[in-house]
Amino acid sequence: MMMEATRLKFVLNLAFLFCRMLRSLLSAQGVNPEKIIVFIDGYYEEPMDVVELFGLKGVQHTPISIKNARVSQHYKASLTATFNLHPDAKFTVVLEEDLDISVDFFSFLSQTIHLLEEDESLYCISAWNDQGYEHTAEDIALLYRVESMPGLGWVLKKSLYKDELEPKWPTPEKLWDWDMWVRMPEQRKGRECIIPDVSRSYHFGIVGLNMNGYFHEAYFKKHKLNTVPNVQLKNIDSLKKDAYEKEIHKLLSEAKVLDHTKNPCEDSFIPDTEGKIYLMYIRMDQEADFTTWTQLAKCLHIWDLDVRGNHKGMWRLFRKKNHLLVVGTPSSPYSIKKPASIIPIYIEPPPKEDVELN
C-alpha cells in the first residue's frame, strides 16, 4: 500500500510539472499548437492524458536501454520521428518537460533562426544562457556567440541532424548523456551557438536522472527569465561570424580596463556605475587552461562545474548593470588588446585535502 501511495504521489508531481510546462508553452506569443508534438518514453496513461487535456498530439514509443542511454535513445527516436512527420521542416525546436519559456520565446527564435541558414559556423540557437543569473544578466535585447551548446530550449537544423548526428548517435549500450555527446568537439566541429544575455527558458525541475534539489538550488533557481513581450533584438546580423569579430573588437576598444590589483571576487572590483563596459584579463596559459576562470566563476556564484559560455577565450556577463568582458591571457586572440602594464589576474584553486585511506 505504501508503494502504491508513493508511486501515486510521484506520478501526480510529474503531471503537475508537465502541466506547468505546457501552460507556459501555450501561453507564449506566436505559439502554433498544431506544430507541437509531445514524445513520451513508454506507454503511460498519465502523461498522455495531460497531452490530450491540452489538445496536443502525443506520440509514445517503447523505451530502449537503461539510465542515461535510455534518455539518449528517447531523444534520437523523437528527433527522427519529428522530421519524418514533418518532412518539409528545416528545423525543430527541442524542449524538455521541466522548462518554463518566456512570453517572447517564439519571437526570439523567429528573429534569429535565419542565422542558421546563412552562417555555416553556427551549430544551434539556444534560449538558455548558462551564465545568465539574476545578478549577471541584464540586457533583454542582447545576443552572444558561445562555443558551448546550452540546450534547454534550442533549435536543431534538420541537415545537421540527418547528415551528421543521427548516423553516429550513441548506440543503446553506451551509457552516455546525449547532451554531453552533442557538445563534444567531434560533433560541434568548432561551430558556435547563439544565446540571449537574458534566458528565454527557465529550468524548474528538481527531480531527474541528473538533477536533485541541492543541485537545482545551487545552479538553476536564480537564473533570470525574460518577462517582457515583443522584444526587438539588437544587431542580429552582427552575430554572423565575421561581423561578430568586428563587434567584439569595437567593445574591447570602448571598454575601460579595471584595476587588476584588486580582488575580482570583491564587490568593489566593479565601480558603482551603470551602463559602462569594463574589461579584465585573467591568466589562461593555453586553450584548455580554465583554472582562474573556474575560481572566478565560483566566487561570482555562476556555473562552475565545467566551462561554458565562452567565445575564443572570452566571457561576457553583467555585474552591477555594467557589461563585463573577461579575456583569458595569453590564450585568447583578444589578448593583443592588453596594456603592457596589466598583469593578468590569477586565482589559485584551494589546496586539495589529503584523503587518508583506511
| DSSP codes, 19-80 | HHHHHHHHHSTT--GGG-EEEEES--HHHHHHHHHTT-EEEEE---SSHHHHHHHHHHHHHH
The reply to whether 354 belongs to the active site is: no
Cα 150 to Cα 163: distance, rounded to the nearest angstrom = 21
Buried b (16+ CB within 10 A) or exposed e, 333-355: ebbebbeeebebbebeeeeeeee
Nearest to 311 by CA among 184, 125, 190, 146: 146
Quick one: 170 exposed, middle or buried, by C-beta within 10 A (0-12, 13-18, 19+)? buried
Cα 348 to Cα 294: distance, rounded to the nearest angstrom = 10
* First-to-final CA distance of the chain: 42
pLDDT at 6: 42
Q: Which of 177, 179, 285, 289 is catalytic?
A: 179
Q: For the beta carbon of residue 5, count every other beta carbon within 10 angstroms.
A: 9
Confirm whether pTM is higher than 0.85. Answer: yes
pLDDT at 215: 73
pLDDT at 268: 96
Cα 167 to Cα 150: distance, rounded to the nearest angstrom = 22
pLDDT at 163: 98
pLDDT at 17: 83
pLDDT at 205: 72
Residue-wise pLDDT tens for the chain (358 aa)? 233 444 444 455 667 788 999 999 999 999 999 999 999 999 988 889 999 999 999 999 999 999 999 999 999 999 999 999 999 999 999 999 999 999 999 999 999 999 999 999 999 999 999 999 999 999 999 999 999 999 999 999 999 999 999 999 999 999 999 999 999 999 999 999 999 999 999 999 766 555 566 777 878 899 999 999 999 999 999 999 999 999 999 999 999 999 999 999 999 999 999 999 999 999 999 999 999 999 999 999 999 989 999 999 999 999 999 999 999 999 999 999 999 999 999 999 988 764 344 4
- Residue 195 contacts residue 128 (beta carbons within 8 Å): yes
Cα 196 to Cα 315: distance, rounded to the nearest angstrom = 13
Q: Taking the CA atoms of 74, 76, 78 and 84 in sequence, report the sign of the dihedral they define.
A: negative
pLDDT at 23: 96
pLDDT at 351: 85
* Largest Cα–Cα separation, the chain: 72
Phi–psi pair at 65, nearest 5 degrees: 70, -160
List residues bridging with 323 in a β-sheet.
277, 318
Q: Which cell numbers hold the place of 75? A: 531523444
Cα 329 to Cα 106: distance, rounded to the nearest angstrom = 38
pLDDT at 212: 63
Q: Which cell numbers hold the place of 14? A: 510529474
Q: Which cell numbers hold the place of 74? A: 528517447
pLDDT at 12: 52
Q: For the beta carbon of residue 76, count every other beta carbon within 10 angstroms.
A: 19
